[in-house]
Structure 1
Amino acid sequence: MEDLMIEQWNPSSSYEQYWEACAPIYCTYSQIAHTKTFIGVLMALVSIISSLTVVLRIGINLLAKFVIDLFKRTPKRQNEVKPKLYDRLKKMFLTTMMQASAGMINLNIFPIWRFGSNTDRMTAKRLGQWSTRLYIVLFLTSLTIIIIYIGVQPQMLTKSFNEPNLNVYNRLLREHGDTLQCPCSSISSTYSQFIQIKPVFHQVCSSIFVSNAWRTNLTNGLVSDLSIYDTQDYRRFLSAHLQFLKGLCQSSIQSINDSINQFLSSSLVTTNIITETILNSQVNVLIDQSKSNALNIFARLLFFLQSANHGNRLVSGYGTNFKFEGSYVVEVLYDNQCSCIWNRTCTIQATFINKNLSEIIAVNGLKMGCTPSESFLQSTLECFYNYSCINIIQTQTNSSYEMNSPPLITGASRFPINTTINDLVNDLFVENWLTAVNYSLYFNQCSPKLCSYTYIQELNSFYTVTSVLSISGGLMFILKWISPILVRLLVAINRYRKKRTNVVQCESNIPMTTITTVNIMPRQMNIQPEAINLQSESNDLPLPTHCSSFLLCYHEVICWIILIFVVLLMVILSFLTIIPHAKNEAVISASSSSCQLTFELLTRQVDSRQAEGSIAVSDFDNDGLWDIILTLFRQYTNIVVFGDGYDSFTRSITINTACSTTGTYVIAADINNDAQMDIVTACDGGPNIVSIILGNGDGTFREAIVYSTGEDGYAIWLDTGDFNGDGNLDIVASIYGISGNRTVEVLFGDGNGFIGGHTRFSTGQNDPSWSLVVGDFDNDRQLDIAIGKSYVPQIVVLRGYGNGSFGPPIIIELESIIFFASWIDAVDINNDGYLDVIVTNAGLDNVAVLLGKGDGTFQPSMTFSTGVFGAPYSGVVEDFNGDGVLDIAAVNYATANVGVLLGYGNGTFGPPMMFPIYDSRMLGMIAADFNRDGRMDLAFIGLASLYVPIMQNTCECCEQEFFNMSRTIHQ
């Protein structure tokens, strides 16, 4: 059986079948290669240089001549009227254009030898001029087409980053999304390298009720022969039930741990790094599968044992399913005539039967039935939540054992107290799976050596200029070679056409030379055309003549001007393109070395008594310095610690809250409209709900006034706001109802420090309310209330009407299996003008952010880790690094540290920066500039703590900003 009767495992694999099942559509490979070879680069450089040489040779000559003429000094003549600057520039421009036009007409860039040795000099010159004009036309036309083609053609560009760190990767991912590719240098890594899973089991599995000592002491007072007890006396079942409970807990813990170890030992294989969101999603799916596998395996095993026992009609040694009567076996009947023959789950109420006193004492929640195991699975743990019920068991078993541990805690489990053991077993007694995915460790395991992203650039001026210049050199070379050939070909065709016409022309061997001299004004130009040979070839081609006017030649000059202007414009645009790229590179390199946030931990003794876990901050003595108020553990008083501006807090006073029990929560607010800060404390239990202590503004306070609503429950959380529009602050408290109330209580202030009335509002049908915050979530200028639930992943919003009443609860579901809203706040985290909600989840290790839409609804929640297994119990939202963007700090109750999440300004946050506190019982925190250095510090309070840890912000490189003392922060 240990080997499941298996002789041998014969694995067989077929790669061909795997290939056919995969059926890849295409295959690709990538390699880093230069876009041009050395020869290609050399040719491109030669082409660019030759192009620039031609353009600059023409442009610089014209520019130099223009500048020389502009600043040329002419001798002054007597009685000469000095023309205006505009007239001088106009005259100079016209003169330059005339000279340029004359030069363009006679321009010849081709040597005589290009037209053959049998061509006379004058004919070669004439052909060269026409070839030059054809060359210019073809070059400009081709260049225009190339510029248009290259300019409008989109370019697929790839940008790479070598060995990026996590910050650079996150920034690139936010900016470029799915186009970012980061191949992993190590494609396989086990989940244990970056995932931690810590199951939290039901409190009964770690309680005294599963210990051998408690079971032994209980059963020592019983008679060893249990048959002397009545068959329906619970003394027969007690020892078996306790042993079975211990076995179920141990088996459940072992099954869960085996499933976790199996999952963590498996490997994650990825060729490219996956995002944190996808990684968390994949891990959650795999963990859910591991949970399901563990539950199914254990359930099948238990069902097999139950079926085997019942199917074989095994007789219980306790005589509870069958009894012998003579030679027969008779069935035992239970409630509703249930027979153990047909139903193994028959049960009755567990009772202690005292025959001497004829007394039957019921044991709440526990059952007796066919077998101890079956009856215990139908039982509940209600008795173990009640101290009186536990005393009954100890009394009826004659136990002298003193139980130092308390009963099971109501509300500390996601299972109701009336949950059957069978239902607990179906979940393997698991309260929660604390899963911590450390993305930075995964990133280090993947260790991408290169990250790249691709983008399409519609117009790249630098690329266009370089491409045009590199092409223009080769284009000029080709056109210089082909233009004379085309001209000679056209001349030959023209000559052949004329010969075919058989036109008789008068021949003359006498060369005719015509010289015409045109005399113009002394300050005008002398134009003297050269002698023209009018031999027979003169009829083949029209003679080049000078322009009769400037306007007739202007179109030839303007082509060169446009060409020079276009080239210069491209060069300028290329520089304008290069400069932003250089700036971007500088920003990228600078962002990877951002300022590091630092804190120094200080401790301050506050009182010889113990603080409880609620802390608030305000200025109670009007000295411009932050003071701290604390609640005391199992005392009816608060402590006010006065700041001195140096983090010392050397002076403190004690004030009486008049609460009948411990104060659970404290805030500072101006309740009586005297511009002095008062203290409001939530009372834990008893008839009192809140205590109001009015401040005098000099560090002293008046006598406390307590208020009771006379209804069930006690206050857990407090906030203030004017809910009925009378200009006076009202108080709202979340009520933890003993009988299951799920409400908030609004106490309406009268402006004098007294309460004028109160009203309760329902927060829905789910688990009790815990934390709450006041804000205008629908932008109707009326205050609303957002409530965080305990043990249910929900936020409830009550929309205020401005008259002291509220609408029905609006339920907002959060994406979390386990949830406990231990702290909540409302701020505009992404600067869109709408209030957002931030809530810590002490059930796991994250903080949830819900971005508001401005209409009372929110976008889907986003979660950000506060540290592995942290259980964040409180938080603050402030700008800790002085970058103008709000950050989140959360104190982790379980790991004794603080996780600071730096904000990006868009509602998202980076990975937590961890700072130790060295005390794992911290429940509350506040933020304020205690030492007046312009940086936000932190202060904490814990459970039964004798001191207040203070984290002084020592970040020297962080920008210091003035902190407004009028703002009140309370936790």
Structure 2
Amino acid sequence: MEDLMIEQWNPSSSYEQYWEACAPIYCTYSQIAHTKNFVGVLVALVSIISSLTVVLRIGINLLVKFAINLFKRTPQRQNEVKPKLKDRLKKMFLTIIMQASAGMMDLNIFPLWRFGSNTDRMTAKRLGQWSTRLYIVLFITSLTTIIIYIGVQPQMLTKSFNEPSLNIYNRLLLDHGDTLQCPCSSISSTYSQFIQIKPVFHQVCSSIFVSDAWRTNLTNGLVSDLSIYDTQDYRRFLSAHLQFLKGLCQSSIQSINDSINQFLSSSLVTTNIITETILNSQVNVLIDESKSNALIIFARLLFFLQSANHGNRLVSGYGTNFMFGGFVFDQTAIEFRSYVVEVLYDNQCSCILNRTCTIQATFINKNLSEIIAVNGLKMGCTPSESFLKSTLECFYNYSCINIIQTQTNSSYEMNSPPLITDGSRFPIKTTINDLVNDLFVENWLTAVNYSLYFDQCSPKLCSYTYIQELNSFYTVTSVLSLSGGIMFILKWISPILVRLLVAINRYRKKRTNVVQCENNIPMTTITTVDIMPRQMNIQPETISLQSESNDLPPPTHCGSFLLCFRELICWIILIFVVLFMIVLSFLTIIPHAKNEAVISAPFINTTATNNITQKLTTSISTTIASSTASSSSCQLTFELLTRQFDNRQAEGSIAVSDFDNDGLWDIILTLFRQYTNIVVFGDGYDSFTRSITINTECSTTGTYVIAADINNDAQMDIVTACDGGPNIVSIILGNGDGTFREAIVYSTGEDGYAIWLDTGDFNGDGNLDIVASIYGISGNRTVEVLFGDGNGFIGGHTRFSTGQNDPSWSLVVGDFDNDRQLDIAIGKSYVPQIVVLRGYGNGSFGPPIIIELESIIFFASWIDAVDINNDGYLDVIVTNAGLDNVAVLLGKGDGTFQPSMTFSTGVFGAPYSGVVEDFNGDGVLDIAAVNYATANVGVLLGYGNGTFGPPMMFPIYDSRMLGMIAADFNRDGRMDLAFIGLASLYFPIMQNTCECCEQEFFNMSRTSHQ
């Protein structure tokens, strides 16, 4: 047993499967390299040299002229009258304009040889001037475009810091926030290296009341044979209660310490260092998870012991649950057999049915006919169950402790004072069961040393990226580096463009100046003597050049200031128009480029991204489960409310409808061991202050209840399944004002009783029929269909087999094969099967279709049918109370289903009931399941494709909850939950307090009954 009967562990790992599960999107590595290679350096050097050549050529010329003018002495003219400052400025301005215009018009930076050897000097000069003007326009335009582009385009810059200290990291984090990246050199570190956790337990666990010495001295005065004391004398329970208190404290402390050690021994895995705030937040979440795990494990163990003791009807040695009744002679076995009699407590509570029956603890002195009550302590079926219902009030009171010592004849002097009320978060009247639910923990003292975590991470490099909108130095250097290349290109291409334009112009003039001669004009031949051959050889060449020069624009000379100024203004306007068009085009292109970048950016698969995010979140620690299953950012929250019955116990079935037509949801519940139901009317505030009791006329308790319009009067009626024959169902017709008619019961004349109910029109007559899952006393497992006549009566009934002779439990009605005829899906108990009966629309059904489920232990405690993945086909959802999951079977539309998928509802939860609704307002259906064993609700947020995330757990603090419904009870647009348990005196309501989960419309047909 110490080795759990394990012979050998055979571990197996596959790196290929790990790689597929990881599915990395990209891989990166870092290396130190020069920003430019040899070619890049060479190009940059040439560009800089070219730029410097141009700058120095202009700058040195100006500097030389300035120096000459500075040192040049101008002769002083006598009797020279200095003009006024205004006149001098005007004259200087005019001179500058004249010189600039003349210089602009006559500027020529191209040598004559660029235009060919057959071009005369005058033509070459004019071609050079026009090439220069084109060069200047193109250069200014290109340079301006580059300046705007470089200046407007944001620069993504990265700055790195090697081996930063914690102070440097904090300063960088404060300045740069989320852009700061610091990869850890050690990505894994155990929590014990930088976290300390110390739980503070309730003072009773360290008091004298849990010591063996105090208990032994207290009980030494009692008679060893406790049977001589009255069954309602607390002397029978005192020693057992003190031992149980000590055991609870020790087990709680051990559970907490084990959970803490397990947490501290686990590892935190982070590729990049996380901030102190995020670390504290994650640690708090992990600690809360460890707390929850410790509580669940301890509660599960305690529940197992309680259930085993009560289920096996173990007779207490104290004679507090069963008493010896005598002997009876068994004629078949020809022997005497003993029998026991159950013990009854307050309100006739029987220990056979309820293990938590209790009465007030008292000391009974028969001699003095005196009964002394012990404040806060209870007696009941067993010492353990009664002590869990007790409180520690007596141990806070010195007088009460003195009473115990006096009644036990103890001479022990107490060296420890009573418990003190200050410094405890638990009130005095807190029950032991509530203390156990918190494992007696008052507080958790947690210390997170971020500097130690930083040392464990030990980042070798921290870097941050930032966007610089305008960098003057970068702009100037970039422009200078590019200007050289631009000038080289423009110098090469400008003369070519000018000569090309001249050739085009010459060709155009030749086409327009063609001369055609008339045939009637007489032609005369003139003969000339070649006297001057040299002149005649030169003249044709001169004429040819003259004709070529005529193709150029006429030379421009500034004959007056007005003409030069006008021409300069024209050039300036032309340049500015060109620049304006370029800037306008540039500004128009930039937004489109940004929009295109945004649209084309998300190329990564969303599912893969979500999976990777979930894997990264899970990899932070090995002890925390991901709680963000839903893609919705809306955090689901509930507030637990309790509604008390008037000392009546509910059975475990609950339904919801509007019985008084006030637009508010009302609740109907079956009562335990009574032949009545109770209707609780809603007031829109979760109060449910008004209720009525209606008689079901069942011969036994009602096991299941639903609400439906049986008689077609548009008013909701009540249908109850009767527990035990000969009656099967009870129908109570509603009047629509919160009152009801007398119940009508129906019997099929066959053995068995109904377990589950649903309604539907199976024979196509327009009237609702009732279908019931029948538990046959003789072993038959069938489905009974009771055909309605539309007036609230049953016109006939038929039974159908569900296949193998296995117990049928839950059922649901729906059209699973899309033939517009209602079918029935039945969930089995103790057999992992779903059975589908395909309806023919005439009240008959086809042979059962058996659907096997993948489960070892199976109990279909609840079933529902809804289109969970929005494909137009009904799916089936069923809870497995035998384990801790819910199974989802996606329908194919032909009466069959895809292989079942299971989703956990909480560890060892034993989900007994469920509902399907949209709880977080994201438009996707979710599943809520109430866990019988762990006293909580697991809400599984849906993804819309038939799958669900991990359960979000919400406590109910009562492990007997069997039924659950969902409705908006307080009219706040959020789905709330209501529960009912087995033999419960109250029904809890979980009010949806999620701030972002409002909805406008609800379909309550899925959650009308449980």
TM-score where L is the length of structure 1 = 0.52
Q: Which moved more, 1:534-543 or 1:871-880?
A: 871-880
Shift of 1:670: 76
Question: Would the alpha carbon gap of residues 158 and 908 (structure 1) be closer, same or farther in structure 2, given more than 3 Å must change?
Answer: farther
State the 1:420 CA deviation. 1.5
Tell me the equivalent position of 2:631: 592
Q: 1:35 to 1:536 in 2, by over 3 A?
A: same
1:729 CA drift (Å): 76
Greater CA drift, 30-39 or 437-446: 30-39
How far the C-alpha of 1:386 sits from its partner, in A, is 0.4
Shift of the 38–281 alpha-carbon distance from structure 1 to 2, 3 Å rule, reads same
- Comparing 444-453 and 838-847, the one that deviates more: 838-847
Deviates more, 1:213-222 or 1:945-954: 945-954
Asked if 1 retains the 8 angstrom alpha-carbon contact of 2:967 and 2:1007, the reply is no
Shift of residue 303, structure 1, vs aligned partner: 1.7
Deviation at 1:252, TM superposition (A): 0.4
Q: CA 1:927–1:398 in 2, change beyond 3 Å: closer, same or farther?
A: same
Q: How far, CA to CA, are the matches of 1:489 and 1:40 in structure 2?
A: 34
Q: Secondary structure at the match of 2:1005?
A: coil
CA contact (8 A) 1:749 1:756 kept: yes
Given that 2:361 and 2:379 are in contact with CA atoms closer than 8 Å, whether structure 1 keeps it comes out as yes
C-alpha distance in 1 between matches for 2:210 and 2:282 = 37
- Match of 2:137, SS? helix
Check the 8 A contact 1:190/1:268 in 2, yes or no.
yes
Confirm or deny: 8 A CA contact 2:711 2:792 kept in the other structure.
yes
Q: CA deviation at 1:640?
A: 69
Distance 1:693 1:338 in 2: 30
Separation (CA, whole Å) in 1 of partners of 2:283 and 2:434: 26
C-alpha contact (below 8 Å) 1:883/1:959 kept by paired residues = no
1-structure distance, mates of 2:138, 2:316:
110
Q: Indicate conservation of the 8 Å contact 1:516/1:529, yes or no.
A: no
Q: Partners of 1:198 and 1:209 in 2: how far apart?
A: 23
Deviation at 1:385, TM superposition (A): 0.3
Where does the alignment leave 5 or more consecutive residues of structure 1 unmatched? none
Range with greater deviation from structure 2 (560-569 or 5-14): 560-569
Residue-by-residue CA offset, 1:579-629 (whole Å, 9 max, x unaligned): 999999999x99999999999999999999999999999999999999999
1:699 corresponding residue in structure 2: 738
Q: 1:693 to 1:301 in 2, by over 3 A?
A: closer
Greater radius of gyration (CA): 2
2:667/2:679 contact within 8 Å kept: yes
Which structure 2 residue ranges, 5 or more long, are not aligned?
A: 327-337, 599-627
Output the CA distance in 1 between the equivalents of 2:382 and 2:659.
67
> The residue matched to 2:891 in structure 1 has which SS?
coil
Give RMSD over aligned pairs.
19.7
What do residues 278-323 of structure 1 show as CA deviations (whole Å, max 9, x unaligned)? 3333333322222221111111111222222233333333333334
Q: Which of 166-175 and 932-941 deviates more? A: 932-941
Q: Trace 1:375-390 onto structure 2 (pairs within 5 A).
A: 375-390=386-401
Compared with structure 1, are the counterparts of its residues 150 and 802 closer, same or farther at alpha carbon in structure 2 (3 Å cutoff)?
farther
* Structure 1 residues 294 and 778, CA gap change in structure 2 (3 angstroms): same
Look up the match of 2:555: 544
CA distance in 1, matches of 2:178, 2:18: 28
For 1:581 and 1:528, locate their aligned partners in 2 and report how far apart those are by CA, in whole Å. 62
Asked if 1 retains the 8 angstrom alpha-carbon contact of 2:976 and 2:991, the reply is: yes
Deviations, residues 205-247 of structure 1 (Å, cap 9, x unaligned) = 1111112222232233334444444443333322222121111
Give, in angstroms, the shift of residue 924 of structure 1.
Answer: 53
The Cα offsets for residues 783-822 of structure 1, whole Å up to 9 and x where unpaired, read as 9999999999999999999999999999999999999999
| Cα pair 1:599 1:954 within 8 Å, conserved | yes
Change in Cα spacing, 1:114 to 1:10, as seen in structure 2 (3 Å) is: same
Deviations 1:370-401 (A, max 9, x none): 33222222221111100111122222333333
Task: Among all aligned residue pairs of Structure 1 and Structure 2, give the percentage whose two residues are the same amino acid.
Answer: 95
CA distance in 1, matches of 2:423, 2:812: 23
Report the secondary structure of 1:756's partner residue. strand
SS in 1 for 2:183: coil
Distance 1:809 1:64 in 2: 109
> Does the CA-based 8 Å contact 1:220-1:399 persist in structure 2?
yes
Q: Distance in 2 between matches of 1:492 and 1:453?
A: 58
1:723 CA drift (Å) = 75
What is aligned with 1:60? 60
CA distance in structure 1 between the aligned counterparts of 2:226 and 2:389, rounded to whole angstroms: 22
Q: CA deviation at 1:717?
A: 61
- My pick for the range that moved more, 284-293 or 556-565, is 556-565
Evaluate the alpha carbon distance shift between residue 876 and residue 492 of structure 1 in structure 2; reply closer, same or farther with a 3 A threshold.
closer
Q: 1 CA distance for matches of 2:447 and 2:754?
A: 33
Conserved in 1, the CA contact under 8 Å of 2:395 and 2:419? yes
Does residue 867 (structure 1) correspond to residue 867 (structure 2)? The answer is no
**812 and 2 in structure 1: CA distance in 2 versus 1, 3 angstrom threshold:** closer
- CA shift, 1:202, in A, is 0.9
Q: 1:890 aligns with which of 925, 929, 954?
A: 929
CA shift for structure 1 position 460: 3.2
Does the 8 Å CA contact 1:893/1:922 hold for their aligned counterparts? yes
Q: For residues 711 and 325 of structure 1, do their structure 2 counterparts lie closer, same or farther at Cα, with a shift above 3 Å needed?
A: closer
Equivalent pair of 1:167/1:592 in contact (CA under 8 Å): no
Query: How far off is 1:695 after superposition?
Result: 79
Deviation at 1:477, TM superposition (A): 0.4
Please say which of residues 215-224 and 725-734 is displaced more in the overlay. 725-734
Question: Which is worse superposed, 553-562 or 162-171?
Answer: 553-562
Aligned to 2:543: 532
**Once structures 1 and 2 are overlaid, which stretch shifts more, 152-161 or 237-246?**
152-161
SS of residue paired to 1:525: helix
- Greater CA deviation, 289-298 or 63-72? 63-72
| Range moving further from structure 2, 59-68 or 458-467 | 59-68
Aligned residues: 970
Instruction: Please give the secondary structure, in 1, of the residue aligned with 2:97.
Output: helix
Secondary structure of the residue that 2:782 maps to in structure 1?
Answer: strand
Provide the rounded CA distance (Å) in 2 between the counterparts of 1:40 and 1:797: 75
Q: Match for residue 404 of structure 1?
A: 415
Cα separation, 1, equivalents of 2:712 and 2:348: 71
- CA shift at 1:61, angstroms? 3.7
Mean alpha-carbon deviation: is it higher for 107-116 or for 683-692?
Answer: 683-692
1:258 positional shift: 0.9
Query: CA 1:642 to 1:309, structure 2 compared with 1: closer, same or farther past 3 Å?
Result: closer
**Match for residue 556 of structure 1?**
567
Instruction: Give, in whole Å, the separation in 2 of the partners of 1:650 and 1:370.
Output: 33
Tell whether the 8 Å contact from 2:728 to 2:747 is kept in structure 1 after alignment.
yes
User: Aligned in 2, Cα 1:851/1:23: closer, same or farther, shift over 3 Å?
Assistant: closer
Q: Is the 8 A contact 2:779 2:805 kept in 1?
A: no
In the superposition, relative to structure 1, how do residues 227 and 726 fare at CA in structure 2: closer, same or farther (>3 Å)? closer
Cα deviation, residue 432, structure 1: 1.8
Q: What is residue 940 of structure 2 aligned with on the other side?
A: 901
Please give the alpha-carbon distance, in whole angstroms, between the structure 1 residues aligned to 2:73 and 2:999.
62
Label 1:16 to 1:135 Cα distance change in 2 as closer, same or farther (>3 A): same
Secondary structure at the residue paired with 2:42?
A: helix
Q: Is the 8 A contact 2:915 2:1006 kept in 1?
A: no
- Structure 1 residues 268-277 or 681-690, which shifts more? 681-690
1:466 matched residue in structure 2: 477
CA apart distance, 1:54: 1.6
Deviates more, 1:125-134 or 1:880-889: 880-889
- Deviation sequence 1:628-666 (CA, Å, 0-9, x none): 999999999999999999999999999999999999999
Evaluate the alpha carbon distance shift between residue 522 and residue 509 of structure 1 in structure 2; reply closer, same or farther with a 3 A threshold: closer
Contact 1:48–1:466 (CA under 8 A) maintained in structure 2: no
- Cα distance in structure 2, aligned partners of 1:399 and 1:536: 141
* Aligned residue among 839, 857, 881 for 2:896: 857
- Indicate the SS of the match to 2:233: coil
SS at 1:258 equivalent: helix
Asked whether the equivalents of residues 736 and 769 of structure 1 are also in contact (C-alpha less than 8 Å), the reply is yes
Which stretch shifts more, 816-825 or 642-651?
A: 642-651
Residue aligned with 1:596, SS: coil
1-structure distance, mates of 2:152, 2:297: 65
Name the SS for the 2:10 alignment partner: coil
The TM-score with structure 2 as length reference comes to 0.50
CA contact (8 A) 1:513 1:531 kept: no
1:35-434 aligned within 5 A: 35-59=35-59, 61-62=61-62, 65=65, 69=69, 73-324=73-324, 326=326, 327-434=338-445
Distance 1:937 1:554 in 2: 85
Deviation at 1:277, TM superposition (A): 3.5
The 1:672–1:226 alpha-carbon spacing in structure 2 relative to 1, beyond 3 Å, is closer
Residues 690 and 379 (structure 1), Cα distance of their counterparts in 2 relative to 1, 3 Å cut: same
Question: Whole-Å Cα distance in 1 between the matches of residues 844 and 86 of structure 2?
Answer: 80
Secondary structure, in 3 states, of the residue corresponding to 2:324?
strand
Distance 1:81 1:761 in 2: 131
1:277/1:474 CA distance change after superposition, 3 Å: same
Of 497-506 and 751-760, more deviation after overlay is shown by 751-760
